[in-house]
Amino acid sequence: MALPINPLDSPVLFTWTAQKDAVPQWITGGRGVHFMTDDGARWLDFGSMVWNANLGHGHSGMTAAMTLAASRGLLVQPSSLFDDKLRAARSLLEVAPTGLRNGKVFFCLSGAEANENAVKMALLYTGRRKIIHRSKSYHGATLAMLALSGDPRRIPFEPSNGMGIAWDDPYSASPCDGDLESIIEREGAETIAAVLLEGIVGANGVFIPPEGYFKRVRELCTRHGILLIADEILSGFGRTGAWFAIDHDGVTPDLLTCGKALTGGYAPGAAVVVSPTLAHHFDDKLLSCGLTGYAHPLTCAAIAAAIETYRKENLIPRAAEAGTWLAPMLDSLAAARPFVRNVRGKGLLWAVDLFEPEGDTTATAARMKALARSLQEARIHMHKRDHQLFIAPPLCIARDELAQGLAIVARCLDATWRTP
pLDDT digits 0-9 by tens, 46-73 = 999 999 999 999 999 999 999 999 999 9
Whole-number Å distance between alpha carbons of 391 and 379: 15
Q: Select from 312, 340, 364 the last residue of a domain.
A: 312
Written as one letter, the residue type at 295 is A
Strand order in the sheet with 349-354: 340-346, 349-354, 388-391, 383-385
Taking residues 4-31, report their average pLDDT: 88
Tens of pLDDT, residue by residue over 95-154, are 999 999 999 999 999 999 999 999 999 999 999 999 999 888 899 999 888 888 888 887
**Which of 312, 329, 360 marks a domain boundary?**
312
Query: What's the predicted TM-score (pTM) here?
Result: 0.95
Phi, psi of 387 (to 5 degrees): -110, 25
**Does 1 map to a domain?**
no
The CATH code of the domain that includes 285 is: 3.40.640.10
Q: Using a CB cutoff of 8 Å and minimum separation of 24, what contacts does 76-82 make?
A: 76/295, 76/296, 76/297, 78/290, 78/291, 78/292, 78/293, 78/294, 78/295, 79/290, 80/295, 82/297, 82/300
My answer on whether 33 and 71 are in the same domain is: no
What pLDDT sits at residue 234?
97
What pLDDT band is residue 173 in, cutting at 50, 70 and 90?
Answer: very low
Domain total for the chain?
Answer: 2
Separation of alpha carbons 386 and 339, rounded Å: 14
Asked whether residue 54 falls in the same domain as residue 128, the answer is: no
Which is more confident, 234 or 16? 234
H or E stretch at 182? helix 181-187
- 288 vs 176, higher pLDDT: 288
Same domain, 166 and 283: yes
Q: How far apart are CA 153 and CA 95, in angstroms?
A: 32
Domain of residue 378: give its range.
7-58+315-416
Residue 90 phi/psi, 5-degree rounding, is -65, -40
Shared-domain flag, residues 75 and 168:
yes
**Greater confidence, 400 or 159?**
400
pLDDT at 417: 83
Structural domain includes residue 2: no
Looking at 33-37, 354-358, 409-413, which range is the least confident one? 354-358
Exposure pattern of 228-261 as b/e (b: 16+ CB <10 Å)?
bbbbbbbbbbbbbbbbbbbbbbebbbbbbbbbbb
Measured N-to-C along each axis, helices 399-416 and 315-335 cross at an angle, to the nearest 10 degrees, of: 30
The verdict on 323 and 289 lying in the same domain is no
pLDDT at 418: 73
Q: Are residues 302 and 350 in the same domain?
A: no
The SS3 of residue 293 is coil
Asked if 201 and 66 sit in the same domain, the reply is yes
